[in-house]
Structure 1
Amino acid sequence: MQFLVTMTTHVPDGVSAETVEEVRGREAARSRELAAEGHLLRLWRPPLAPGEWRTLGLFAAADEVELEKVLASMPLRIWRTDEVTPLSPHPNDPALGG
């Protein structure tokens, strides 16, 4: 199954810039691993307001339980909320070759 995930990050007040950069570095490394495993298919950054931190991701997982394990493995999850939308195929999808 594929899932569209809106990931919104809110770094708590008082967290040092060094800590934020360290966690973001680990997030980037984990994202590369998830992509290599076939779980993370795409990432997009929508238009953002100043101070807003949001990402849209297309993920693949067997089901919502596996997806939750994937999302929980990402370092930014400590400061992030995720809104998950399960996706189903559309009959007119050009990728289906129909």
Structure 2
Amino acid sequence: MLYLVHMIVRIPDTVAAERADALKADEKAMAQRLQREGKWRHLWRVAGEYANYSVFDVAGNDELHQLLSALPLFPFMQISVTPLAQHPSAIAPN
């Protein structure tokens, strides 16, 4: 199943810079691993914001929740999820 996921990251000022940098590095490593595995199909930055739009290709709601909640920056994210379905007029496969 495909999901469009919008993530907005808000790390509070109370988090030490070193800790925030470590979380960001861990997040990058996990995101790249999930992309190599084919589960995180697209990752697009929102210009001017600490946010992204991503497309995940996972078995279902439970797997998506498991992946998102395991992200190192998850505690600092506002996330919205939209399930996607193939459009009948689309000529490219999903």
TM-score, scaled relative to structure 1 = 0.87
Amino acid at match of 1:17: A
Residue matched to 1:78: 75
Within 5 Å, which residues of 2 pair with 1:59-98?
59-96=56-93
- Tell me the number of residue pairs that the alignment of Structure 1 and Structure 2 aligns: 93
Unaligned runs of 5+ in 2: none
* Aligned CA-pair RMSD: 1.2
SS of equivalent to 2:8: strand
Unaligned runs of 5+ in 1: none
Deviation (angstroms), 1:71? 0.7
Give the whole-Å Cα distance in 2 for the aligned partners of 1:22 and 1:11. 12
Residue matched to 2:29: 29
How many percent identity over aligned positions?
34
SS of equivalent to 1:78: helix
TM-score, scaled relative to structure 2 = 0.90
SS of equivalent to 1:90: coil
Give the whole-Å Cα distance in 1 for the aligned partners of 2:42 and 2:88. 22
Give the whole-Å Cα distance in 2 for the aligned partners of 1:53 and 1:86. 23
Residue matched to 2:2: 2
Contact (CA 8 Å) 1:39, 1:70: kept in 2 or not?
A: no
Would you identify which runs of 4 or more consecutive aligned residues in structure 1 move more than 6 Å?
Answer: none
